[in-house]
Structure 1
Amino acid sequence: MKLSISNQQLLISLIISALLLFIWDKYLPSNSDIHGMQKSAIKQRSPVIFWILGIFGLCAAMGEGAAGDWGGVLARDAFGASPFVSTIPYIAYSATMVIGRLSCDKLANRFGAENVIRAGGFISGFGLLVGLIFGGIYGVVFGWFCIGLGLSIVMPLIFSAAGRLAHEKYQDRVAPSVAVARVSGTAYFGFMIGPPVIGFLAEIFTLRWAMLLVVLLSSVMLFGGRYAKTN
């Protein structure tokens, strides 16, 4: 039976909804929906640590946004990849992004969030640098593979650190939910500015070398891990 567009969309929506319900029940503990009463927070300046975490998150988001938007363009325009082959860097990036997002908590519990964030920054920065130097479609795929694997673990751990710090050290100054909102609001701005900044630099240095900005942004994580310690 040939499905119409509307029926296809309905079928996809039902499948996704079923998967979300399964994941919610299996991976989200029931006590995560239980919150104690919180007193109204006194209006004070937000502790500097949350702005610092937000800036590190912004750097990671800029790298993610640039990788998501420019991988196919780089493969096609700089290295002559076909339309199909030019999608492979983004596929590699997306696949490793999912793997990293799902495994970052386990890695942080085992090795510590500080070490995991630093390792992620190194993998992303060094891997992309190697890919850009060697060039070609294989270099681009390798670089985007490393970006996804490295940067995917940064933002979740930074958000987690914000909530934990607010609960443990700044309970009287800012609620954990507010702290996470401030950090994530700052960080997600990077998705908006990352791609156009790369485009601007590409007009000056070519797209291949404009992506060195992502190498620098990834290197920042080597210093940002200390603010997300789990002990």
Structure 2
Amino acid sequence: MTLLHDLRLIRRPVAAFAAIGVCWGAFAGVVPALKLQAGMSDGALGAAMLVATFGAVAAMWLAPQAEARLGRQAMPVFALLLGLGFSLPGLAGSTAQFAAAMLVCAAAAGTLDVAMNTHLAGLEARSGRPLMNLAHASYSLVYAGAALAAGIARGAGLPVWAIFLGAGAVTLLLALATRGAKAAAEPETAPAGSAAVPWLLVLPAGLVICVGFLSEQATEAWSALHLERNLGADAVGGALAPTLLGLTMGLGRLTGQGLVQRLDVGRVMAAGATLAAAGAVLAALAPTALMGWAGFAVLGLGVSVLAPMGYAWLGVRLQPAARARAISRATVVGYAGFFLGPPLMGGLSELFGLRVAFGAVALLLLVLPLVLLPVMARR
């Protein structure tokens, strides 16, 4: 089996991963401009993203039922909603408007995330191939390109609303590429309504995904601000931080695609979390932009394996009837980190500064190898 064969096998969910990468990459590249446009403090930005969390969680909880009703059209419909939603944040002129726009974006991204990961887990289980890292790598690489493009566009004077409109248009095109996927839910989610959720497996996997997403999103949303505010970078230099994060995450996930076939998943996740924590510390203590970029690059390399391997660890331990609901619930737990990251960073930054905030991310990452992963090894 070749890499090209695997890519052909997962081409439709990869288009969904790419759609999310375009949107969040564009967002990361323009966070400083969004913050200025809406007149938000660090704490207000964090609070607005916390509001978005509730929309994402509610949407993901209901995603399996919506996916079962939509069938083959689930991913295209959710991707379409994502593209339409991401035309809104660039128009926000206040904290309330920004929070409302991000609520819509988060809900759309959450439903698409559940659908694409459920579909991918089904493909992985049926094919016997490790596909999670490859699909998540596609997100990271597209995210890196979108973040850099957004930063360059911002540096060239393009208005924020135009950058988001462009990201939404690309996402709508990618929605077309997700069509025709035979949802993994077909036959898996049909009986899922009566299948009990195996929380003893779902919760630890969800917590690994949660810490991974928290670290990713904390860096995506705040790394450009750290570079521009504390290390003297310009708009393009600030956008280079999330760009490097995405590139090294993509590299790490492509490498993890091979490692997962030869090494114990738990050990790979422990090594990744430790490396990511070291990167967060380096970024927090960086005296120059170069050291900051290096720290975020190391963080991305380490954190890259956490979410996809958390999904993979869970997927192989589930029967098909339980897979869709279990992955949905794990995604709900995981996405709490994706959207709690910015509020955590915002609060800590407001009180102590961004350097302390990134230090807190390092401490959270170290909880995985020291506490959570040893518990998972016994399951």
Change (3 A) 1:45 1:182: closer
- Could you tell me whether the CA contact under 8 Å between 2:276 and 2:298 is conserved in 1? yes
- CA shift, 1:178, in A, is 2.2
- Could you tell me whether the CA contact under 8 Å between 1:132 and 1:139 is conserved in 2? no
Match of 2:346 in 1: 199
- Could you tell me whether the CA contact under 8 Å between 2:248 and 2:300 is conserved in 1? yes
1:167-223: CA deviations, max 9, x gaps? 3xxx8xx61232222112210221111112101110111112111121012112213
Give 5+ residue unaligned stretches, structure 1: 1-19
- Could you tell me whether the CA contact under 8 Å between 2:204 and 2:376 is conserved in 1? no
Query: Superposition pairs for residues 1-231 of structure 1, below 5 Å?
Result: 23-25=7-9, 32=127, 40=191, 42=194, 44=196, 46-167=198-319, 175-222=322-369, 223-226=371-374
Structure 2: distance between partners of 1:191 and 1:226: 23
1:20-65: CA deviations, max 9, x gaps? 9993248878x54789966846554633231122122111111100
Change (3 A) 1:138 1:180: same
Alignment-mate amino acid for residue 23 of structure 1:
L
Identity %: 23
Structure 2: distance between partners of 1:207 and 1:193: 16
- CA shift, 1:121, in A, is 0.4
Alignment-mate amino acid for residue 24 of structure 1:
R
Structure 2: distance between partners of 1:198 and 1:69: 9
Structure 2: distance between partners of 1:45 and 1:122: 30
Q: CA RMSD in A?
A: 3.2
Alignment-mate amino acid for residue 206 of structure 1:
G
SS at match of 1:175: helix
- Could you tell me whether the CA contact under 8 Å between 2:227 and 2:233 is conserved in 1? yes
Structure 1: distance between partners of 2:375 and 2:261: 16
- Could you tell me whether the CA contact under 8 Å between 1:56 and 1:220 is conserved in 2? no
Structure 1: distance between partners of 2:336 and 2:10: 32
Structure 1: distance between partners of 2:185 and 2:214: 33
Match of 1:5 in 2: none
- CA shift, 1:127, in A, is 2.2
1:69-109: CA deviations, max 9, x gaps? 11110011011112222222111101011112223231122
Match of 1:9 in 2: none
Alignment-mate amino acid for residue 160 of structure 1:
A
How many residues in Structure 1 have an aligned counterpart in Structure 2?
207
SS at match of 1:135: coil
Structure 1: distance between partners of 2:326 and 2:10: 27
- Could you tell me whether the CA contact under 8 Å between 1:113 and 1:228 is conserved in 2? no
- Could you tell me whether the CA contact under 8 Å between 1:117 and 1:224 is conserved in 2? no
SS at match of 2:296: helix
* Structure-1-length-normalised TM-score: 0.77
Structure 2: distance between partners of 1:164 and 1:25: 18
Larger Rg computed on CA atoms: 1
SS at match of 1:111: coil
Structure 2: distance between partners of 1:131 and 1:43: 44
Structure 2: distance between partners of 1:82 and 1:37: 51
SS at match of 2:351: helix
| Bigger relative contact order, structure 1 or 2 (CA pairs below 8 A, ≥6 apart) | 1
SS at match of 2:318: helix
Structure 1: distance between partners of 2:198 and 2:263: 29
Structure 2: distance between partners of 1:35 and 1:106: 27
